Amino acid sequence: MSLLSVTVKKAQFSGAQAAAHQWNSYVTLKLQHVKSTTIPVKGANPSWEQDFLFEVNNLDAGLLIEVWSKGVIWDRAVGYHWLHLRDIQHSNMEGSGQWLPLEADLVMRDGEVVGTKTPTEHAVLIDARFELPYV
């Protein structure tokens, strides 16, 4: 078993629609039937700086990152990013993170998310790393 540490740092919403929109957004992380969510933050450049830990048994899986805009009646998906666990480094040092592009659509296979497609102009800054075991 591995321990995945994820820090949701911030997001950037770009484009004409972003300037006109009253943003109140949050991020949801989904991994192997576990879902974690940040608090909602207002603005076109929200900053969360929230840490999450996941126990991982299957490195062939992926972390689904969803960014949502809170609405009065329902919330609207801003974009998604699917991060394959095998692409995440092993380190005990928190990094500056990586800007991940958000895409508008999920790619599904047999009812499971296996990727994302259709780029948006938005991005989210995530620091994801597997903790090294203490020796």
Residue 98's CATH number: 2.60.40.150
User: Which amino acid does the sequence have at 41?
Assistant: V
Q: Does residue 135 belong to any structural domain of this protein?
A: no
Whole-prediction pTM: 0.92
Q: What is the DSSP letter of 59?
A: T
Q: What's the total number of domains in the chain?
A: 1
Q: Does residue 125 belong to any structural domain of this protein?
A: yes
Write the CB contacts of 67 (distance below 8 Å, at least 6 apart in sequence).
11, 25, 26, 27, 77, 78, 79, 80, 102, 122, 124
Region 61-78: what's the mean pLDDT? Answer: 94
Give the pLDDT of residue 119.
95
Q: Does residue 82 belong to any structural domain of this protein?
A: yes
Which three-class secondary structure state does DSSP give residue 17? helix
Comparing 15-24, 25-34, 124-133, which segment has the lowest mean pLDDT? 15-24
Q: What is the DSSP letter of 125?
A: E
Q: Does residue 55 belong to any structural domain of this protein?
A: yes
Contact 39, 50 (CB under 8 A): yes
Of residues 131, 133, 135, the one with CA closest to residue 51: 131
Pairing of β 62-69 and β 41-42: unpaired
Return the H-helix or E-strand segment holding 54. strand 47-56
Domain that holds residue 97: 2-130
Region 117-121: what's the mean pLDDT? Answer: 95
Give the pLDDT of residue 125.
98
